[in-house]
Amino acid sequence: MPDVDRRRAWLLTVDGAPQSYVDLDEPTHLEFEYARRLGHVLDCAAEDGRPLDVLHLGGGALTLPRYVAATRPGSRQHVVDADRGLLALVGEHLPLPDGAGVDVHGADARTWLEAAPSDSVDVLVADVFGGSRVPAHLTTKAYAREADRVLRPGGSYAANLADGAPFAFLRSQLATFRAVFAHLALVAEPAVLRGRRFGNAVLVASQTAFDVPELARRTARDAFPARVEHGAGLHRFVGDARPVTEGDAVPSPEPPGGSFSVG
């Protein structure tokens, strides 16, 4: 659907839920709150303008690949999405600019990840939803190990997740990635973290310490302010949650009616 306020901007919905927003004239414009937070993680991944190798699991309208191509020219990016029809639709109506350095692949995210070379990417962004839910096979400790294998030393994993109080899914994901990665952070709106509403949260993981203060500064001064939880506060939030195994994996919870729908 076109955005009447921006000449070449488009909202992509899937089954009535907003999925992506793209401004073809201004690829650095990130409309959705979770996309802005993933953008902050990408901005903090290296010094400004330095090209990165990025793997995106989940493509949508290719909002974040466009952002990286604009902010870090020369980056090499791969986008993996199982919905080949959606990729074809986006390619036809919202084409990437020439020389963007983005390769798009129609494939299952977990299958692609398991076949990807070790130590091959600087940042892995996971934004995979089947409808409005994160698929179960992208929630396990084995999946987290594959993400760690593909990342280069010093690389970062960032995932868009969704949950609400009592946060059984989100806590289990933090426990799962804590079992594999040495450093974790969680970026979310304070109202979501306090359990006042269902919403998105961005999980960040790395084997080396990342610049949490800079990430916190960027998210706090955003048009949609967020909080960064890490260290002891994050440990308390995780509580007694346990890592997810292949045998007990479940999708993220179904959002309450109207949480992500558009009129």
Residue 244 has pLDDT above 90, yes or no: yes
Q: What is the mean pLDDT of residues 113-122?
A: 98
Question: Does residue 17 belong to any structural domain of this protein?
Answer: no
Q: What is the mean pLDDT of residues 23-39?
A: 96
Question: Does residue 84 belong to any structural domain of this protein?
Answer: yes
Question: Does residue 10 belong to any structural domain of this protein?
Answer: no
Question: Does residue 259 belong to any structural domain of this protein?
Answer: no
pLDDT reported for residue 5? 87
Question: Does residue 255 belong to any structural domain of this protein?
Answer: no
Question: Does residue 148 belong to any structural domain of this protein?
Answer: yes
Contacts of 185 (CB under 8 A, 6+ apart): 203, 204, 210, 212, 215, 228, 229, 230, 234
Share of residues in the chain with pLDDT > 90 (%): 88
Residue 216 has pLDDT above 80, yes or no: yes
pLDDT reported for residue 131? 78
Instruction: List helix spans (H) across 155-209.
Output: 168-178, 190-193
DSSP state, residue 136:
G
Q: Is 90 strand, coil or helix?
A: helix
DSSP state, residue 138:
G
* CA angle, 28 then 29 then 32, to 5°: 125
Q: What is the mean pLDDT of residues 217-239?
A: 96
Q: What is the mean pLDDT of residues 128-151?
A: 95
pLDDT reported for residue 108? 97
Residue 262 has pLDDT above 60, yes or no: no
Contact 63, 35 (CB under 8 A): yes
CATH number at 100 reads 3.40.50.150
Query: Which pTM was predicted?
Result: 0.95
Contact 181, 154 (CB under 8 A): no
Residue 261: band (very low, low, confident or very high) from pLDDT cuts 50, 70, 90: very low
Residue 258: band (very low, low, confident or very high) from pLDDT cuts 50, 70, 90: low
Residue 259 has pLDDT above 70, yes or no: no
- Kindly list the distances between the CA atom of residue 193 and the CA atoms of 50, 134, 185, 201, in Å, as whole numbers in the listed order: 33, 19, 13, 9
Contact 191, 228 (CB under 8 A): no
Per-residue pLDDT reduced to its tens digit, 2-28 = 888 888 999 988 877 788 999 999 999
Residue 77 has pLDDT above 70, yes or no: yes
Q: What is the mean pLDDT of residues 125-149?
A: 95
The number of distinct structural domains making up the chain is 1
User: Can you list the positions of beta strands (E) in 189-236?
Assistant: 199-206, 227-230
Place of tokens 């509403």: 197
Range of the domain at 188: 33-238
**Mean pLDDT value across the chain:** 94
Question: Does residue 250 belong to any structural domain of this protein?
Answer: no
Question: Does residue 226 belong to any structural domain of this protein?
Answer: yes
Residue 193 exposure: Cα atoms within 13 Å on the Cβ side: 20
Phi, then psi, of 173 in degrees rounded to 5: -70, -40
199 strand-pairing partners: 163
Question: Rounded distance, CA 177 to CA 103, Å?
Answer: 27
Q: What is the mean pLDDT of residues 113-132?
A: 95
Residue 260 has pLDDT above 70, yes or no: no
Closest CA relative to residue 39, chosen from 190, 205, 193, 218: 218
